[in-house]
Amino acid sequence: AQKITQTQPGMFVQEKEAVTLDCTYDTSDPSYGLFWYKQPSSGEMIFLIYQGSYDQQNATEGRYSLNFQKARKSANLVISASQLGDSAMYFCAMREGGGSQGNLIFGKGTKLSVKP
Amino acid sequence: DGGITQSPKYLFRKEGQNVTLSCEQNLNHDAMYWYRQDPGQGLRLIYYSQIVNDFQKGDIAEGYSVSREKKESFPLTVTSAQKNPTAFYLCASSLRSGVEQYFGPGTRLTVT
């Protein structure tokens, strides 16, 4: 079974609008972390936001926020006020276990295209 | 400035040849990782190392080898035993107490 599922292969959003990228996860470990990375066409992976399984508040970083619904096992990324530079692949990832080190398990990604 | 360097950006090899991909970091990170990315796919873990002179296999280690003789360096060798070596390879590092992994710019390997 897939541990990280991103059901949207591609998404379009109008510039300055908000967009939600979906991510569901599967784990039986009570302690885990959820990550979102952005991958522009150049290839590097850029860390965007992190949510710990015990965090009470949803994570926010500037225009990025993570809509964490633990019971539904979902960790959707919300990008507000989309910009042309937001066009990229977006990957959701999970790390299981309580330690700070561990392997990241990635979803297959969502390609976001921002229209002017 | 601090960061992770991977060289070269593009690498071409003939089938049957071993090839070594370089990964260097000056972030003083303890842990380093190698991932493979195929078109339309997420990243899959090949090997990781949490400390010098120690490393563990990831999900797809067959046909690859690594070494960790120095904290700053974690080279990956793609051997001739790897059946489908053409892919994008990403190196990452993290602090022992850190949350996120920092990634290098990647090496695109093409084997013909």
* Residue of chain A nearest B31, judged by CA positions: A101
CA dist., res. B64 & res. B47, Å (int): 8
Asked if B104 has any chain A CB less than 8 Å from its own CB, the reply is yes
CB spacing of B33 vs A35 below 8 angstroms: no
DSSP class of residue A58? P
- Identify the helix (H) or strand (E) that includes residue A97: none
The answer to whether A51 touches A36, Cβ cutoff 8 Å, is no
Task: Render the burial of B47-84: b for 16+ CB within 10 Å, e for the rest.
Answer: bbbbeeeebeebeebeebbbebeebbebbbebeeebee
Give the pLDDT confidence of B43-99 residue by residue, as tens digits: 999 999 989 999 999 999 999 999 999 999 999 999 988 889 999 999 999 987 667
CB spacing of B42 vs A106 below 8 angstroms: yes
Low pLDDT (below 70) residues in chain A: 1, 98-102
Give the pLDDT confidence of A20-40 residue by residue, as tens digits: 999 999 999 898 999 999 999
The upper half-sphere exposure of residue A52, i.e. CA atoms within 13 Å in the direction of its Cβ, equals 11
Identify residue A52 by its one-letter amino acid code.
Answer: G
Nearest-neighbour CA in chain A from B8: distance (Å):
13
